[in-house]
């Protein structure tokens, strides 16, 4: 199993290029199942989760060709309607096949994703939405089956803002008969990117990016060429790296408008954040000022940046209250940060981070994708050597992160 080894204490300086967004690429690749012919996707990041998605598409019968960061998918050969346990357990976002399969084949059988480290993460709202569109939902032997000869448009209200729930219902509704309205829909940029991709394929979707999305069903979609948007969480991770190491990083190929909440929070800690058209320059400062943060659905501060920001607050000059409102168990990285010398107390969904003068390197264990990034950030500023174990979590969502940090001057490497 690979490890990341870091000798901390160096300010990171230079330029870094952001890769395509994992959480945009996954639903967009799945949407290729909605049409015959070759869809072409560019700026697709080279990640484990993308390879898992390609495995699912090929298992279902699609043809996939990949050359560097261009992936082509032909959904013509779609012949299976089932996503088996062995595939879903590797990547819970496999549930995103539900919408396209029911829309295209009238039937889907998908292994229920179990919980994960950060929470139970049920898919009840996905299933309620599909039932509203006329699908017959049955649960048996760990699988969910959804059946309907042709979905009919409906008004769907989400009790809780759900990103993949919104995406699944969008991909189900595009071929339904009549109009579908999604209320209290997720507003994330990845939802907008999926709507843009579907509209490029001939769908009629309006309101993506707002809490109310209107989808007029069409009879069929056509293949399209789509570029994946930059990853806003990778962008925020590098912004935080500049702040935590007191460095000066220019982030290229990003969309500053997607990280406004992160920019604002970092400014409050004293960092200088300079925004260009597709660049952001962040200069860290000393001391780092402690600030409170609460995670919220977009455009609020993203839950996927909570762990990374906690690493920064661990070395700030006061007390920071971090409140996690999206997932019920997303503080697993706290015990690992404590091993590096952080002073953090957790009570329910709130963590009180008392900044310390410095962290000291130690072996730590990654428990999920964003916790991995948090521990690497902490290692970059800790005195001495930090070894982050179980980096397979990291490889799910970051493309060659250690190489990018090394290009910015970090003493970091991967050992098998
Ligand atoms: C997406 O997960 C992202 N994953 C997550 O990123 C991200 O943390 C999350 O949205 C929140 O922004 C992908 O896009 C592939 P949700 P998702 O449905 O869609 C509850 C990463 O690190 N809920 O928006 O699974 C749920 O339990 C990952 O890249 C229900 O109760 O998250 C959670 O508390 C981690 N019932 C809240 O809603 C449902 O049917 C938000 O979850 C669905 C969700």
Task: State the CB neighbour count (10 A cutoff) for residue 297.
Answer: 18
Q: Which of 71-75, 119-123, 364-368 has the highest mean pLDDT?
A: 71-75
Residue 115 has pLDDT above 90, yes or no: no
Q: Known catalytic residue: 285?
A: no
**Spatial distance between the Cα atoms of 186 and 161, rounded to a whole number of angstroms:** 5
Residue 309 has pLDDT above 80, yes or no: yes
| Weakest-pLDDT range from 115-124, 233-242, 249-258, 322-331 | 115-124
Per-residue pLDDT, 114: 75
Mean pLDDT along residues 67-72: 97
Residue 350: band (very low, low, confident or very high) from pLDDT cuts 50, 70, 90: very high
Residue 85 has pLDDT above 80, yes or no: yes
Indicate yes or no: pTM above 0.85: yes
Per-residue pLDDT, 247: 98
Mean pLDDT along residues 138-158: 95
So where are the chain's domains?
A: 3-19+230-415, 22-227
Per-residue pLDDT, 181: 98
Task: State the CB neighbour count (10 A cutoff) for residue 211.
Answer: 15
Mean pLDDT along residues 204-232: 98
109 lines ligand 1 (CB under 6 A): no
Per-residue pLDDT, 90: 87
> Taking the domain 22-227, which CATH number applies?
3.65.10.10
Mean pLDDT along residues 227-254: 98
What the block records as the tokens of 69 is: 């960061």
Residue 229 has pLDDT above 90, yes or no: yes
**Spatial distance between the Cα atoms of 40 and 360, rounded to a whole number of angstroms:** 47
Residue 88 has pLDDT above 90, yes or no: no
Residue 89: band (very low, low, confident or very high) from pLDDT cuts 50, 70, 90: confident
**Spatial distance between the Cα atoms of 344 and 310, rounded to a whole number of angstroms:** 9
Q: Which atom of ligand 1 is nearest to the CA of 118?
A: 35
CA 124 to centroid of ligand 1, rounded, Å: 12
| Share above pLDDT 90 across residues of the chain, in percent, rounded to a whole number | 94
CB 145 within 8 A of CB 121: no
Composition of the chain by helix, strand, coil, percent to 5: 35, 30, 35
What the block records as the tokens of 45 is: 């990041």
Per-residue pLDDT, 387: 98
327 lines ligand 1 (CB under 6 A): yes
Residue 1: band (very low, low, confident or very high) from pLDDT cuts 50, 70, 90: confident
φ, ψ of residue 108 in degrees (nearest 5): -150, 140
**Spatial distance between the Cα atoms of 137 and 145, rounded to a whole number of angstroms:** 6
CA 11 to centroid of ligand 1, rounded, Å: 34
CA 122 to centroid of ligand 1, rounded, Å: 9
pLDDT in tens, 26-66: 999 999 999 999 999 999 999 999 999 999 999 999 999 99
The answer to whether 3-19+230-415 and 22-227 have equal CATH topology is: yes
304 lines ligand 1 (CB under 6 A): yes
Residue 116: band (very low, low, confident or very high) from pLDDT cuts 50, 70, 90: confident
Residue 390: band (very low, low, confident or very high) from pLDDT cuts 50, 70, 90: very high
Q: Which atom of ligand 1 is nearest to the CA of 303?
A: 8
CB 308 within 8 A of CB 236: yes
Per-residue pLDDT, 117: 82
371 lines ligand 1 (CB under 6 A): no
Residue 260 has pLDDT above 80, yes or no: yes
> Taking the domain 3-19+230-415, which CATH number applies?
3.65.10.10
48 lines ligand 1 (CB under 6 A): no
Between these two residues, 118 and 211, which has the higher pLDDT value?
211
Per-residue pLDDT, 113: 85
Residue 158: band (very low, low, confident or very high) from pLDDT cuts 50, 70, 90: very high
């Amino acid at each position: 199993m690979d490890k990341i080894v870091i000798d901390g204490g160096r300010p990171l300086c230079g330029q870094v290029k952001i890769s395509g967004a994992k959480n945009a690429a996954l639903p967009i690749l799945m949407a290729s199942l909605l049409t015959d012919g070759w869809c072409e996707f560019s700026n697709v990041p080279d990640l484990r989760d993308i390879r898992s998605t390609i495995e699912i598409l090929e298992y279902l019968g699609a043809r996939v060709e990949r050359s560097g960061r261009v992936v082509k998918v032909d959904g013509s050969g779609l012949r299976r309607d089932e996503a088996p346990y062995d595939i879903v357990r590797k990547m819970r976002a496999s549930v995103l096949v539900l919408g396209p399969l029911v829309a295209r084949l009238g039937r889907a059988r998908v292994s229920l994703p179990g919980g994960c480290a950060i929470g139970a993460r049920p898919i009840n709202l996905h299933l309620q939405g599909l039932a509203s569109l006329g699908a017959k939902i049955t649960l048996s032997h760990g699988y969910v089956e959804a059946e309907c000869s042709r979905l009919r448009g409906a008004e769907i209200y989400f009790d809780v803002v759900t990103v993949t729930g919104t995406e699944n219902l969008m991909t189900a509704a595009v071929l339904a008969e009549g109009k579908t309205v999604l209320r209290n829909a997720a507003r994330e940029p990845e939802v907008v990117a999926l709507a843009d991709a579907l509209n490029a394929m001939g769908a009629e979707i309006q309101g993506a990016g707002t809490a109310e999305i209107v989808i007029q069903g069409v009879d069929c979609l056509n293949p399209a060429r789509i570029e994946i948007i930059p990853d806003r969480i990778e962008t925020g991770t590098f912004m935080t790296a500049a702040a935590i190491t007191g460095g000066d990083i220019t982030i290229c190929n990003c969309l500053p408008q997607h990280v406004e909440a992160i920019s604002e929070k970092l400014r409050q800690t004293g960092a200088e954040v300079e925004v260009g058209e597709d660049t952001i320059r962040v200069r860290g400062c000393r001391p780092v000022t402690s600030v409170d943060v609460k995670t919220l659905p977009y455009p609020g501060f993203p839950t996927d940046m909570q762990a990374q920001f906690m690493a920064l607050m661990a070395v700030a000059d006061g007390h920071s209250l971090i409140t996690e409102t999206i997932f019920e168990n997303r503080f697993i990285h706290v015990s690992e940060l404590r091993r590096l010398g952080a002073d953090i107390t957790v009570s329910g969904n709130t963590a009180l981070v008392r900044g310390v003068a410095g962290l000291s390197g130690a072996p730590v264990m990654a428990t999920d994708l964003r916790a991995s990034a948090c521990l690497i950030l902490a290692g970059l500023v800790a005195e001495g050597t930090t070894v982050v174990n179980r980096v397979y979590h990291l490889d799910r969502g970051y493309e060659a992160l250690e190489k990018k940090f090394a290009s910015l001057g970090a003493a970091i490497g991967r050992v098998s």
